[in-house]
Structure formats: C-alpha cells, structure tokens
Structure 1
Amino acid sequence: MCLRTFIHIRGMAALHSCLVCFCLAHLCLTARCMNSSSSDHHGKTPLYVGGFFTFDETVSATAKLPQVAMKAIEHINNLSFLLDDYELRLRWGYTKGTGAGALSVLHDLVFKGPPVVLAWGPFNDREGFVLSEIAATYNLVQCYTGITFFEQGDPRYPLTIQLAEDERAVDSIRLSFSNYMGWKRVAIIFLDVDSIRREVDNMYRVLTEGGIHVLTVEPVKDISDAYQQLQNLKKHDARIIFIRVPLGSALIFFCQVYKQKLFGPKYVWIIPKYYYGPWWRLRYQNLDCNDEEIRQVVEHVIGFESPDVVQHRKSFSMNGLYQPVDGATEVFVFARISPKLRYTMFGIVSMCIVFGLGVFFVNNKYKQRKVMRITSPPLNNLIIIGGLLHYASIFLHGTEVADLDNFSTIVLCHARVAFTAIGTSLALGALFMKTYRIHIIFNKAVSKLRRVRGLPDSKLIISVAVLVFIDILVQTVWVLTEDTNVVEVELHRSLNPLHPEKELYTVTMMKYCQSQNQLYFAIVIYATKSLLLIFGVFLAWGTRRITIPQLNDSKYLAISIYTVALATVLGFPALEVSSNNVSLYFLVLCMSIVIPNTLVLCMLFLPKIWQLFKNNDDAVSISLMASESRDSKLYDTGNDVHSQRLYKELQKVDLPPYRSRTRHDTHTLGTTHFKCTPI
C-alpha cells in the first residue's frame, strides 16, 4: 500500500465530454460518412474512431484502457436514441509516450484501413500538441484527453476538442485548501511552455490575490535538468510547492527532487489534477531512481481534481503524521532587561542620588567652615555633579529601546554617551585637579623649598571646563556630521520545545545605534578619558604619603583614583563579554558606575562630615606624614632642618575665611608668611 497522500476525487466529466464529442463528430461528418462507408451486415453504417493509448500491456496501470474504451463504445452503440443507423468502431494503437509514436499511429489510421472520422486521445501532452496540429490537416476531429489547456480560437488547433477540465478551474480550490491548512508561503515550478505558463500565470494571480505569498516561480526549460531551479527552491526555504509538469515527465522530475533531498515530512508537493491513479508506477522511461526512491518522494504528495475537495478537506491527513507547515515561523522579540533587575538597580541608584544631593547640600551649606573650606567646595561640587550625571545615565541605559521609535532611540543613544562622558570629565577632572594641586604644593615645596605660584579654584575649574568642552564638541560634531541609524541584530533563536514539528522559532533581537564613523568618535572620547585616568593614577601615586591628619584628604583622593582605575580596567572587558546578554550587560554597567562613584563620594565627604560635627575649626591642623620607606627620601623630614621648620609653620597656620581666589594669591612655603589655599 502506497504511503503517499493523494486526494483524488474524480467525477464523470470525462465520460460526458466524450459523449458530447461523439455527437459533435456525428453531426459534423454524417454526410461524408454516409457517402464513403457502406452498411455492414447489421444494416448500420460504421463510424471509425481512432484511439491513441500511451502504454502497452507491460504497464499494468493502463494495460486495460483499450478494453475499457471498447466497452464504452459498445455501451454507446446500444443507445438506440443516439446514433440511429450508425455505430462506432474503434481502431487504436500504442504511442509509447512519444510524439514519434503518436505520429506513427496517426499515419496508420489515415492511410491504412478504413478512414476514421474522429481521434480520441492521447493523454500525454507531448503527443497531444503534435497530433492536434497535424490531425487538422486531414480534417480529423481530435478529442484531446490531455490536461494542457488550449486557448480558445488558437488557429493551430481548429478541430481540437478539449475533453479534460481546464486546469485553471482548480486554482480556487488550491487557494481554499492552502488557507485551510494555514499555508501562506508557497512556491511554483513548471515546465516552461506557452500553454503551461498561461496556467501558471493564472495560478499565481489567484494565490496572490487570496493572500498567499509566492516565494518564487521557477520555470524549467528542460525537465531533465532542473538542478538550478530546485536549488532556488532550497534557497527560498520553500516547503509547499506547486508543480506543473506533464505526467509523462513527472517521474523524471521527481527523481531529481530525490537527488536534491527536497522530500520528506517538511515538504509538500501539490501535483496537477490530471495525475491519475498510481501515476508514480508509470515507468516508461529509464530513470536514475529506483521504485523505493520514487516512493519516498511521492509519500508527501497532494493532488485534487474536483471542487468536492473543499467539502472533503477535513478528512485530510498525512498518514497520521503532523500537519506540515509552510516553513519555519519566526517570532521576533527584542531582548529586554529583567524587570526585577531593572527596578532593583533603579531603586539603588535612586538612593545613591539622594545621598549625592545630601552631600551637595552639606558641601554648600558649610563651605565657610574650615573643615570644608580647605577641600575646595567648588571642586567638590563638580565631583558631586559628575557623580549625579553618572547615576542619571543608569536610568538612560535601563530604558528599553524596544519600546521606542527610531528617532527616540537615536536621541537616547546620544544622551547615554553625553551623560557618561560629561559626568566622567566633571567628576574625574575635578578629582584629579585637587590631587594635582596637592602634588604641586607639597611635592615641589618640600623637595625644593621654594615659592610656588598659586593654583586658585578658578584655574582648576577652567581646566575641568576644557575637558567638558572637548566632550561637548565631539558630541556635537558627531550628531551634526553623522547619519546615525538604528540597527537590529539577531542574538539567538530558540525552537518551541512544546511543538517542534511546527518549527516555531523565537528570534531574540537587539537594537542599537550605529553610524559610519562612530569608531573614530569613540576613540577620541576613550582616549581623552584614558589619558585623564592615567594622569590621575600618576598624581595619586606621587602624593600617596601626603596627609592631613584631621581629614586625611590626600589619602582618600588616591584611594578614589585607584578605585576608578580598577573599575575601568575590570569593567570594560566584562561589558564586552556580556554584550549579548542585555540583563548581564546592564548589571555589569551599573556595578561599574555605582560602586566606584559611590565609593568616591563616601571617601571624599564622609570623613569631612564626621569632622564637621565632631570638631570645631580650631582643632583642624595640617602636617606632613614622615615617610616609612627606606628607599624614598622625598618626604623624610627626620634630619632636614628646613622641613622641620616647615612642619612647625604649618602647625601654626590660621586659615582666613573662605573667599574666591585672585591672581594675586600665592602659596609661600618655607617662610613665616604662609597662606593656606583649599586643596
């Protein structure tokens, strides 16, 4: 029993068409027949009908077709009301499925034996095209039983009567069945001849107007060489394929289908309605495939002939297998940050922002107190503002771009870069400027015991402003000169494990911004920040032994810089590794910002706040810490008379009220006239 699936609903249309054909032949040729034929012993005038049968008795599926035809003629002859004084007789021959064989039979029918008034057949298109054109030259009515439809009024076939139903009449059934099965993507492959191309054009129109997407239409010039067309079907991932190939060439074609591995449960081949009976057994040509290979291909073939298929379609099954699909169905979703992670980090960052605002309030409210004044409140404000911008950037990075249009996504991308870059310049720039001033005052003063030109807050703030200006300039040029586009990339895809046979894939996408020269702009930003960080690490190392016992500000500055450097060194590789996991990327980014940022604020301001409420201004003193390193003599004050004198002078200093610095303010170390500048 063949395992193939075949919807084969055959009506009586062919028989009725034959009867009409015989009647037409009788009406058209009665006069000639009566004049040219004599009555037989029954007193009836014989009308000879020529029969063209493709296969001989070696093909079991069609071996009895001549006997069936003679039985039908006998039945017609017994109808007394139809032919009156005439009777039909059959003269026939085997065409062997070739045009030459069909012409040989035609020659015998015309020039040998009694003349025929009508020709029935053939079924094969290749024979039919030849016979229908040649038969007209002998005034022979050709009842064409093939399936390729001739256009009405074609001058090449004036005496051809089409018996088979027009293949185009089934196109609406194909559409209905495809919609019922849920198939929205199909392909068409056909033998490229005029008559079939017209049918394919109509099929394409019906399918597309019915909402079916035709992936590709592949015409085949030589049915024995369809390699390229089959490869194109593979490239388009066509699963539901309509074939329009004459029956005589079907096995040749499906043998190539087998060799290209376009068969199995994933593929459905929908054949024309004229593929009758066990057509896959009609092996009248040598094939490169055996019966078992052909059987594997046709195991998932569907065919239908009648509109009745619409009423019977619910009985369709693929031999108990799952319903085939028209291809892999991809459901696109954008990668999203875990809601729990996002809201947790937003909560933590919100508390950090409250802490930063509190520090900002204390720094400005008590800026006249000696504890705060000697640490330069304006630079402290810049550090706090930079930290707040860093915290704010986390909210920007936590915003889902999947919910935004392209324009809003581009604005968000630039805002992320701007907040991070400017925040870094403000926080690190001010932090490094404070460290630089400590380096200048103590390093040079102690080592060379000379006057040091003043470094007022205004000059240091200008230096930080230059860094911020560079960031703004780079960002502005980037926005104005570059066309930023939103790019969607596939991260991964996963098959629905509950219904793998449906090939439902969830494709996770990620959306990000991209511009042609963004690499160069990124290099400029990273280069400035890297140089700033390297400079800060150098200063921190140079001032590592300088302390103010009551505040220990220099030590905390160095620790802050080391923390930022460590977070940067560890953070960038971690971000690169986790770039394809949005939740992990967001977590690493938050940790890389929150931890060093919060630690810097705590290091710089918590000791000051503690001293602010613990001691009064008179308890604040300044000193140099003696070096404990044997190999360093820069801060060794044990045997240095000048350093001892400097130490005593620093202990006696009385800081004046805080005021803005002017260009006349100076630091005088190593003399009795010492003015203290905020550090």
Structure 2
Amino acid sequence: MASTERVRTLGRVWRSLALLYALLIFLSWPCAVAGKKKLYIGALFPMSGGWPGGQACLPAAQMALDLVNNRTDILPDYELELIHYDSMCDPGEATKLLYDLLYTEPIKIVLMPGCSSVSTLVAEAARMWNLIVFSYGSSSPALSNRQRFPTFFRTHPSATLHNPTRVRLFQKWGWTKIATIQQTTEVFTSTLDDLEERVKEAGIEISVRQSFLTDPAVAVKNLKRQDARIIVGLFYETEARKVFCEVFKEKLYGKKYVWFLIGWYADNWFKIKDPAINCTVENMTEAVEGHVTTEIVMLNPETVRGASNLTSQEFLAQLMSRLGGKNPEETGGFQEAPLAYDAVWALALALNKTVAPLRAKGWTLEDFNYNNKEITAEIYRALNTSSFEGVSGHVVFDAQGSRMAWTLIEQLQGGSYKKIGYYDSTKGNLSWYGNDKWIGKRNQYIQNSQPYLNNMTAVGCVLALAAVFPLGIDGLHVHRSQFPVVCQFRLWLLGLGFSLAYGSMFTKIWWVHTVFTKKDEKKEKRKHLEPWKLYATVAVLLAIDVLSLLIWQIVDPLHITVEKFTKEAPKEDLDVLIQPLLEHCSSEKMNTWLGVVYGYKGLLLLLGIFLAYETKSISTEKINDHRAVGMAIYNVAVSLTAGYFYICSTKRPHSVIRRLITRGEWQSEQQDTLKTGSSNNNDEEKSRQLERENRELQKIIQEKEERVTELRNQLAERQALRSRRRPSVQNQNSVSSSRAEPPSYSPTTDKQSLPASFSNSSNLYQDEGKLSRNNCHNSRLPLLYK
C-alpha cells in the first residue's frame, strides 16, 4: 500500500516538473525570438498580370519562412523576414519597386523576383549592388547567361528544357514540319531560337513562324492561311486565352491540328472569364481540347521527406489550408508553389552554410551591405553547391544557376489534364504511359490503312526488280552447272515478288470492297475486318506461289536446252562458218507449268481490276489510299499486258553462242549430212548462193542497159547530123524513114560510115549481151529473176 502511494506521488511530481518546463519555454520564447537578428529578403510576387503566380507562390514562401524560423538547427541566431511587393509581371512596375527595395531601409540580403521579364531586369541591375538574385518562376533561357547575370539562381528550370521534350515527341509521332506562334518577349524569343536549332539538328522544319505583341488575331489568321498543322505556342496565360479565342473563330483546332503549349498555366485557365476576349467558356473548351503541354516536374512524385521534413502531399495539404479553401485551378502559380517553397529553403540552407566561413574571416551575415563582395561571394558558393531533397524533387543547380529536372508531358482530355509521359533530357529517356487520345482517332486512320501491307508491297517490288540481275546475266559468265540455278532463282524472285507486291494491294482493295459495298440487313455498322485476316490472305497467296514453284522444281526441274540455228555464211577473209547456238532453261512440260502460273495470276489480276472498279466511287477517311491502290492495280494490268505482247513479238535469248566452223569441218558435215539423207542445210546454202549470183547479175544487166540507152542516143544524134548534109529529097526520105523506124534500128548500109568508137561500142554491147544471156542461162536466172 505504501509502495503504491509512493508511485503516485512520483508521478505527480514528474507531471508538475513537465508543466513547469513547458511554462518556462513558453515564457522564454518571446525573449528568444526577440534576441534573433533579422535578415531581410526583398521579393516581387506577381499577384496579377500575364502570370499571376504570386497568388500561390507567396503563401508557399511564407510557409517555408515559418518553418525555417522555428528550426533551431538552421540559422539559430537569425530570423528571415520577407518584404514583398506586387510586380504585376510588368518590367515597368518592377523598376519602380526595385528602386524602393534598394533605397528604402532595411538592407535586403537577397532579391526574389517572379516572372522572367521582371527577373531579367532585377538580375541585370543587382550586380551593381552585389546582390544575389533567386527566382522561383523564371524560365527565360537568356537568364542562363553568366556574363550578363553573374549572381542569378532559380529553382524553375530554363524554358529550353521543354525543347528536347518537344523534339522527342515530334520524332515519336513522325512529324517533320511544324509551325510556331509566340508572344514578343525575350523569354519566348530565346526559347524559340533554341527550339529552331534543335529541330534543325533533328531534320525537322519550322515552316511558319508567327509573333504578336498584344493582339494575336493576325498571327492566327496567318497560321491558317499557310496551312499550319503542328503548332507550338509560346505565350503567357492571359495571351493564351486571346490566342485560343481567335483559334476558335478561325477553326484552327480539331482532328487536323495539334497544339503544344506551356504547362505552367492554371488547370482551368481556359475557363476563366476574361473581359479581353469575346468567346464563351464553351467556345474555349472546344478550341483547346486535345492540346499537349510540356511542364517541368514541380512536385516530387515520390513520398520522401526532404529538408523541410514534409512530403509533397503534406505540403499540398498545408498550402490548401493557407489558401483558405480557394480552388487550386483558379489560383495562379499553384503549380509553381513547390518551387517557391524550395527556393526559400535553398536560401536558408545556403545562408546557414556561410555562417562558419564568414565567422572565420571575422564577418557575420548582419554585416552585409551593398558594397561587401566577400559575403556575396560566400553566399554564391553556398548556393552553387546546394543539393537537397525538396517538395519539388531533388534541388541542384547547373553551372548557369538553373535547376535541373524532369519534364512532365500532359494532354487535355475531356476538359482536364492527363499525364501521358515523362522525359529525362539528361539521359534521353522517355517514359510513356500510352494513354494519349486524339480527336477523331488520328492514329486509327493510319492503323486502318494497314501500313504493313504497304511495306509488303515495297518488299515485293524490290524482289521483282531484283530479278533483273539473273535475267541479265551473260551466259558466258555462268558455268554450265550453275545455269539452271540462275534460271530457278529468277523464277522464284518473279513469283514471290508478284505475290507480295500485287497480293498486298489486292488484299487491301478486297477489304475496302468487303467493308464498304456490302450492306447489313439491319443497317447497323458496316462489317469490320480484323487486320490478321488481311495478313493471312497475303500469306495464303504467297503459300500458293511457294507450293506451285516447289512442285515444279521437284517434279519437272529446269535444265539446259540447246537450240541450233542456221549456219551463217563464211566471211570473205575467213575460211570458217558460224554456227549460232541458243542455251536457255526449259523443262519437259514448260508450257503446261507456265499456263498454270499465268492462268492463276491472270485470274487474280482480273479479279483485282473488278474490285478496283467496284470501289472507285468510295470515299472514306479511314482508308485514304484505296484509290491509289486501285490505280496501281490498273497499272499492273496494263504493264503485264504490254509485257506479254512484247515477249510474244520479240525473242531475247538468254545465251547465244556463235561457233566457228572451218572449211574442212563444213565439208565433212556436208558429207555426213548427205550420208544420213538430210540435205536441208545444203539446199539452204545453195539457195542463198543462187540469190547472191542473181543480185550480181541484176547489177550487171542494169549497167549494160544504161550503156545501151546511152549508145542509142548517140546514134540518133549522128544520123540526124548526116541527114542534114544530104539533098533535100534524101533528107526528107531519110527523116521520114528514120521517124518510121524504131530508135534501136541500125541500117546495114551505113554501118561502115559510123565512127569507130561507136562500132566498137556496139560490138561490145552485142558480145556482152550474149555473155549476159549465157550467164543467165547457166545460173538459172530466169527461175529467180522477176
């Protein structure tokens, strides 16, 4: 009993001591806080304007300051206090506020601007006052210039971090031509310059580049006029509403267009009523549907406790409590709030890291002024080596003071943003969820057109064209044993090439005919044909060819066939004859096999022509290449028909051998031929010899006839000259008699009075005439000459 009372007494004593200790801490806390030295941070939070990010970023920064000031392990002798103004994201307003911050007590140890246009102004001027500038919402690539902004850091990554992600998406979806529209500010101009360099390296063209200052109407009209389809938009949130109001008016949205926007707008930015536009919420919702955003990962997706001892979800819960129940989608800067929170923690940790080095040099943080470069240098070194886990992820800075992070890819689906992937630009890794959706099933069009069938067509054409090589091989360069192999190889290339090339086209046109010409009795949706059936059809056509060629090769293989032609006449200077030989591949039942193959392929070709004719009037977006397929089938038919007539009207031997035969071999062959009773070749040689003699005799006769005509003319002229010298009566008689007589008459009484040359010519003519007639008789000319 006594022991129990003792225990109770000790318990009451311990509780009394605990209450006394708590009371002492409570009473001493104001004194401890009052004893801390204050460090002032000058901040510009845009509560309104183009990007009202201060609406959520200011509460997040104040949350961080409260936690830092309550920590005893971080700046235990100091208290951070925030002096902030509303910059309205306007450089002009920010200039006036910067003047107030610099020339109004107390001295600020760090400046924290918000949007990029204000950060550019503040960071460029701060170097004159030896001030560190730390931004939570600036994405301008120009701010990465260490020569121009030597003391600038930011937890918001550079906007150029979006560009590798955009290029990767262009490549993923196979887009090679894009367009851009930008607001004329430095942040977007420098971002677009960087994008232009990256797409050029990737082989992508920027075909249209539009910009605007305040009114995007003209720029949007130019986009439509120049047929822009893949459009990258770079502008602030308020300008985004103006742009998409014009987009709705110009109908520059829907299944034909894809928009890429910046992802740091409020989630319902297109639903916010804006007096600057005359479009309804429904209009805006319709215009922005399906657009893709790239956004820096600003909230740690993992459940880890960082430097603030809060997880990202706990941070969001506390931020919602501070916002007093405001809708996050209607609160500007809600997505960037983790960056503002981590920016304060990065500053606090860096300042805490400088306490010891400064103390070693005889300095303290409260000794900071605008002329003290040593303290600024220590703060710079501490920030440059920062590395900690924040609510926005791992916080680390590159050599230009910019945050390095992943990129989140989202798409607006049904009025809300859905995550479709992540991209790590440092490693080039794309993590894809595969839940992207497109208006009108854009990817389904490509799938319905069956691109793999087009690939089969290309492969078949390549095989058919490859048959040119075995077809054109000279037989002199192929060994006799390899000759059938070459012929068989040619046959297989042509057969399989036709089956793949024409079979895939035939399958596609057959599918179009099946789906779009057959009507269901209940008038329901048209029949859908599974893709595997298409590929199975091509496989069946290919199997038929393989089977038929295999049976042909086994049952009746090709072998060399030699065909002799008529020997050619010997040349004048050679004592040889030429024996042409034709070597080609053939089989015992060649015509039968060719008839089977040609008949099967001919029927298939006729059926394809019929299907192409039946579907010529079908118009569908699902298969926008079926008319081209039908035209290709017509072309195949015309080409094969023309090739058939060409082959039938010409003869192109695969290998022709011209064998030289000596005179002795020829005579022995003639004797052998006579002995065997075969004289066909001999008769042909005699016939050709007689024809040559006939042609030579015709030439001689023609020459003699021309000579006779010439001599007759000379004779007539001489007779006319002699008749003038005689008496008139004789003249008349001779003239009448000469006119009555034929031109070839030669009077015998005047033969001695003719010139010697003429007499000799006449004798020569008579002798040659006799010789000519004798020669004709001896060479059997009357039988040949006509």
Q: TM-score, normalised by structure 1?
A: 0.40
Q: TM-score, normalised by structure 2?
A: 0.35
| Greater radius of gyration (CA) | 2
Greater relative CO, 1 or 2 (CA 8 Å, sep 6+): 1
